[in-house]
Structure 1
Amino acid sequence: MPFTVLIPARLASTRLPNKPLADLGGKPMVVRVAERARQSQATEVVVATDAPEVVAACQAHGVRAVLTAADHPSGSDRLAEACAALGLADEACVVNVQGDEPLIAPALIDAVAELLVRHPQASMSTAAHAIDTLADFVNPNVVKVTTDRHGLALSFSRAPMPWWRDGFADGVQALPTDPAPLRHIGIYGYRVGFLRAFPTLAQAPIERCESLEQMRALWHGHRIAVHVTAEAPGRGVDTPEDLKHVQATFAAGAGEGR
């Protein structure tokens, strides 16, 4: 199935200013993300940014970039503008790969796109991975997802879920494995028609409470298909410590992908 990868990249960051331009083995991070995405089956990879500096950096490395408004309230709004700029039809599919994921697996991008073919009733698709530590299970920065028997999302939450009433009531400190709790991975596939409409939907109360934008789609009755991967996702860059780790990975020549 043909699909386009869109990479949103905001220059402003409270914890890591100019994060998209951070050097990773001689290239800006956003370029490294695009290079990874090009190893997927995507027909095109495009960076959507609010900064001329990011556009220039992408062009210097042969990566297509479009300049979008600086005042978008969410990443979805930025992607919707990019879809319009690219002239993508409503029936087209796009995969949103975050601009701070330079170690993302190309196969994961393909799997998220493929879900939209396998689940025609879904407006969106995403991915998850089994949680294997109690620390991650109770960490509110680790978003959890539960699914139905068809692999469609039931809910997303920062709270531990599902909660094993009997096991944890007795003070058990090991995670049950049936079912294993799932950690949401922040990659999304969209049908372009839905992506255009999404910013016009009213915010959901649960979305505001959890600060999870995907809950708006569920609250309005849209379905989200979830790919559960057995491979742990590559480390993203959210903190200075993450950046140092990923820089060391590229310095060692281990960040180039296949």
Structure 2
Amino acid sequence: MSITYGCYGIIPARYDSSRFPGKPLADICGKPMFWHVWNRASKCPEMDKVVLATDSELIMEAAEKHGVPAVMTASTHTSGTDRVLEAAQKLGLPGDSVVVNIQGDEPCLAPEMLSELVSPFSDGSVRVTTLASPISAQEALSPDRVKVALAKDSRALYFSRAPIPYSHDDDGNYLLHIGLYGFRMEALEAFAGMAVSPLEKRERLEQLRLLENGIPIHVTITAHSCHGVDRPEDLDTAIKILEREKI
């Protein structure tokens, strides 16, 4: 793939979490979780730079200790996307840059997923990208598993916590949305300037703000899986995966 734009990964790492306070600092194989995310993301050949964006002095100090470039951001942000934007602005990224919002709780992230995420930007008209992967009809019933329905050209038609599209025969093909996003810098700035939209508020899915304001999201189907750490009990799975890969 021919890359004609700068590509920058930003990992939002907030200290406070209702389910898992201090999660970015959780120890995994002797390193904080954020280090594993940064290390994996840095292996993506399309990334010019990967930076941590945090609101915590403790995380900032740990980043310096482990050699992870980091930017201090405000503690008032209501979403990771807002934190990513502040970090991108502090880095002075130009308007045609691609900014990738990398979830800070994905220590087993496959670098290939980031390559898949940014590949559509070879088309200059693409402004926002994300990923999806097939899931079973049973998995699709969970409101914690966000589903996406696509148009023929791979644009997202809708995201929902409900099983979409509706299937009459219980063997429908469902796509799980994977919460990695690529933005043109101008699209990221536009997103932050929009008010919370009605569907976003109803579904509690901020990506719907883009669709409601006419900004298309290009979706790439990936064969890779995510193993996010939402709660302390999820750490065991991540540790097993990383130990198996000898990282």
Runs of 5+ in structure 2 lacking a partner? none
| Distance (Å, rounded) in 1 between the aligned partners of 2:241 and 2:85 | 33
Q: What residue number does 1:171 align with?
A: none
Q: What residue number does 2:198 align with?
A: 205
Q: What residue number does 1:49 align with?
A: 54
Q: What residue number does 1:129 align with?
A: 133
Q: What residue number does 1:172 align with?
A: none
Q: What residue number does 2:105 align with?
A: 100
CA contact (8 A) 1:116 1:225 kept: no
| Distance (Å, rounded) in 2 between the aligned partners of 1:249 and 1:164 | 34
The one-character-per-residue Cα deviations of 1:207-239 (angstroms, maximum 9, x if unpaired) are: 0010000000000000100010123x1311012
Q: What residue number does 2:175 align with?
A: 182
| Distance (Å, rounded) in 2 between the aligned partners of 1:204 and 1:58 | 35
CA RMSD in angstroms, aligned pairs only: 1.3
- Tell me the amino acid that sits aligned with residue 73 of structure 1: T
Residue 253 of structure 1: how far off its partner (Å): 4.5
- Tell me the amino acid that sits aligned with residue 229 of structure 1: T
**Equivalent residue in structure 1 for 2:31, among 4, 27, 31:** 27
Q: What residue number does 2:228 align with?
A: 236
CA contact (8 A) 1:94 1:113 kept: no
Residue 122 of structure 1: how far off its partner (Å): 2.9
Matched, 1:247 2:247: no
The residue correspondences of 1:62-141 to structure 2 (distance < 5 A) are 62-118=67-123, 120-132=124-136, 134-141=137-144
Matched, 1:5 2:5: no
SS across alignment from 1:78: helix
- Tell me the amino acid that sits aligned with residue 18 of structure 2: T
The residue correspondences of 1:146-165 to structure 2 (distance < 5 A) are 146-165=149-168
Runs of 5+ in structure 1 lacking a partner? 169-174
Q: What residue number does 2:209 align with?
A: 216
Could you tell me the percent identity over the aligned residues?
40
The one-character-per-residue Cα deviations of 1:170-194 (angstroms, maximum 9, x if unpaired) are: xxxxx23xxx210000100000111
Residue 249 of structure 1: how far off its partner (Å): 3.1
The one-character-per-residue Cα deviations of 1:149-180 (angstroms, maximum 9, x if unpaired) are: 11111100000011113x14xxxxxx23xxx2
| Distance (Å, rounded) in 1 between the aligned partners of 2:246 and 2:231 | 18
- Tell me the amino acid that sits aligned with residue 90 of structure 1: G
| Distance (Å, rounded) in 2 between the aligned partners of 1:124 and 1:217 | 9
SS across alignment from 1:212: coil
* Distance verdict in 2 for CA 1:255–1:79, change over 3 Å: farther
How many equivalent pairs are there? Answer: 242
Q: What residue number does 2:189 align with?
A: 196
SS across alignment from 1:140: coil
CA contact (8 A) 2:9 2:101 kept: yes
Moved over 6 A (4+): none
CA contact (8 A) 1:151 1:226 kept: yes
With structure 1 as the length reference, what TM-score do the two structures score?
Answer: 0.90
| Distance (Å, rounded) in 1 between the aligned partners of 2:182 and 2:25 | 25
**Equivalent residue in structure 2 for 1:144, among 147, 150, 161:** 147
Residue 255 of structure 1: how far off its partner (Å): 6.1
* Distance verdict in 2 for CA 1:236–1:255, change over 3 Å: farther
The one-character-per-residue Cα deviations of 1:108-128 (angstroms, maximum 9, x if unpaired) are: 10111112223x333210000
